[in-house]
Amino acid sequence: MCRLEGPVRDRSTLHTMPLRMLAWAVDHPGPVDGDPLARVEKPVPEPTGAQVRVRVRVCGVCRTDLHLAEGDLAPRRFGVTPGHEIVGTVDALGPEVSRWRVGDRIGLPWLAHTCVVCRFCTPGR
């Protein structure tokens, strides 16, 4: 879960967006009762290319996230913030985005993108 703080950067977005946000990140993987997560401050990212920035409303945390925190899975980079299965609102667009608009409701999977054509990605699945 992230909490946003700081001054507003851009009033053209759906909601005012601060410069920095608070998040939980994997600091030192290990047993959950050993506090493997650390509360950190991160910059609010700016989308580039075909990326969108999403103001997260709901985020699932599941066993895969616990595997990351506990060190059973190696994170792709240090300080990763666990959580996926995100639903939120698009609040900023990269310059190459044509499919989405600021204000659109959007859901994001674990992989951050899908092919949209295979049997697992087609509607109803």
Q: What is the pLDDT of residues 27-77, one digit of tens each?
A: 999 998 999 999 999 999 999 999 999 998 988 888 888 888 999 988 778
Q: What is the pLDDT of residue 40?
A: 95
Residue ranges and CATH numbers for the domains of the chain are 3-108 (3.90.180.10)
Q: Enter the pTM of the model.
A: 0.67
Task: Tell me which long-range contacts 32-38 makes (C-beta under 8 A, separation of at least 24).
Answer: 32/66, 32/69, 32/70, 36/69, 36/70, 36/71, 37/69, 37/82
Rounded Cα–Cα distance for residues 31 and 23 (Å): 19
Bigger pLDDT: 118 or 87?
87
Bigger pLDDT: 113 or 68?
68
Asked if residue 88 has pLDDT above 90, the reply is yes
